Structure 1
Amino acid sequence: MQVVQPRGFEMVTVHDAQPAGADPTAGRRRVTVVAKVLFALLGFSALVTEVATLVARNRFVPGDFFSYFTVESNALAVASLLVSGFALAQGRSSHGLDLFRGAVTFCMTTTLLIFIVLLSGYPASTLTAVPWDNTVLHYLMPIAVIADWLFASRVGAIPLRRALLWLLLPLLYLVYSLIRGPIVDWYPYPFMDPSVRGYSGVAITSVVLAVVLALVAVAVAFVARWTPVGTRR
């Protein structure tokens, strides 16, 4: 607050003194923490709703359900938002937490891109047990995690060589799915099923995705070099 007081023919501006020890970013941190927790609860409720609905329909197969990249990524997103929200509330941060948040952002960006490009043409009922879960898990949660990475504070930049290690996550997932698929006669996604276009089709799709995801990893790491205004003290 500024108060203008006359002094002779001069106008003197008097500034209110800020209380000692006041943190100008405290309000923003509180809002960020609340947003993190709310989106974590939203993602958790969507996952729980999926499980409860499938159980009620006698269609819940734990091995299949937890073999979806979407489910795994959203579970990590819930953990990331809660842990980073708690750390932010406590005024703590670390490079390890940033690396974990970056990996989760990479996974959720992968979920969003693959859904839009390869899966959005399928009916929502074939992708999730409850239609609103489809919106939450494939759109709202990825966007929330990406926004969190863009605007919430970070300790420092993510080295590119470490960011590229994130590519091991979808690679290991692909290997796991191709090994498990023939054993249980089930694949989580059509583009991973060799019976649809053969192993050559799966290989071509995988190579294209690898290139795209490498660019995503680079982008996520590059964003970490930018510090949001007002988030670092």
Structure 2
Amino acid sequence: MPIVKNIKTVTAILGIIAWLGVISQFYTSVPAYLQKGRTLGGTLVELFSFFTIQTNILVALCFTAAALGASQTAFFKRRGTLTSVAVNISIVALVFNLVLRATYHPVGLASLSNELVHVITPALFIIYWLAFVPKDSINWKDGFAWLWYPAFYLVYVLIRGAICGIYPYFFLDAGKYGYPKVVLNMGILLIVFLIMDLLYIFIAKLVDRYFGA
């Protein structure tokens, strides 16, 4: 198939789209934060504290690694890494579109940027994972190992929030809802991550069984 022969070109294009999503988020968000009196350093830390931004950067790095094909980018080409990132970007899309979309109404370029990081890039990466990422050697135990990233992120959010009083997502705002409620929300999120991990592993095993070499 021609598309398979030109996979580096395809991933290069997908990488450009993913990076445009991340860059446009900074381009539209930084001035808005600065107008509110935030410092540039504080603004950058705030933006990098969003799980959406972090995960979209990981997606862009995975596409870039696939396009470059260099040994230095091997980590981002591992099937376990790619599957974990697919899980995380799926969660980004689900949480935003099911929970947060009604609370956020950007306009103009900010609206396009929002769709890129929450809809277009997630959809493209999921399709890429389904079509091109090898599914063998993905085991059930991997689903538990993949929880380290969201778990570490949630702990970071609580620590940073306790220091500066800023939380990237309302359902993690311990200052507003208290730690018991937020810890419960974190537990629910980790269960969702685990379920999604196991779902992707199940899909991987099905694809490998029926379509693998």
TM-score, normalised by the number of residues in structure 2: 0.83
The alignment of Structure 1 onto Structure 2 pairs a total of residues equal to 203
2:47/2:53 contact within 8 Å kept: yes
| Superposed CA offset, 1:43-84 (max 9, x none) | 211211222333444355111010000000000000111212
**CA RMSD, aligned part only?**
2.9
> Is it true that 1:64 corresponds to 2:46 in the alignment?
yes
Partner of 1:175: 155
| Structure 1 spans left out of the alignment, 5+ residues | 1-24
Question: Which of 103, 121, 124 pairs up with 1:144?
Answer: 124
Contact 1:106 1:166 in 2 (8 A): no
Q: What CA distance in whole angstroms lies between the structure 2 residues aligned with 1:136 and 1:182?
A: 31
Structure 2 CA distance for aligned equivalents of residues 62 and 95 of structure 1 = 24
Name the aligned partner's letter for residue 207 of structure 1: G
- For residues 91-110 of structure 1, the aligned pairs below 5 Å read 97-110=78-91
Match of 2:64 in 1: 82
SS of the aligned residue for 2:106 comes to: helix
* 1:10-33 Cα distance to aligned partner (Å, 9 max, x none): xxxxxxxxxxxxxxx4x1314543
Report how far residue 154 of structure 1 moved.
0.6
Identity score, percent? 22
Query: Matched residues in 2 for 1:103 and 1:153: separation?
Result: 12
CA distance in 2, matches of 1:153, 1:170: 22
Residues 209/153 of structure 1: CA separation in 2 closer, same or farther (3 Å cut): closer
Counterpart CA distance in 2 for 1:130 and 1:197 is 29
Matched residue, 1:38:
13
SS in 2 for 1:143: helix
User: How does the TM-score come out when normalised to structure 1?
Assistant: 0.76
2: CA distance, partners of 1:151 / 1:50: 28
Q: In structure 2, do the counterparts of structure 1 residues 124 and 43 end up closer, same or farther at CA, with 3 Å as the change threshold?
A: farther
8 A contact 2:91–2:193 mirrored in 1: yes
Distance (whole Å) between structure 2 residues aligned to residue 200 and residue 117 of structure 1 = 23
1:114 maps to: 95
If each structure's strand is expressed as a fraction of its own residues, which one has the higher value? 1
* 1:153–1:171 CA distance, 2 compared to 1 (3 A): closer
Deviates more, 1:63-72 or 1:205-214: 205-214
Q: 1:191 to 1:94 in 2, by over 3 A?
A: closer
Matched residues in 1 for 2:75 and 2:117: separation?
Answer: 27
- The structure carrying a bigger helix percent of its residues is 2
Give, in angstroms, the shift of residue 207 of structure 1.
1.9
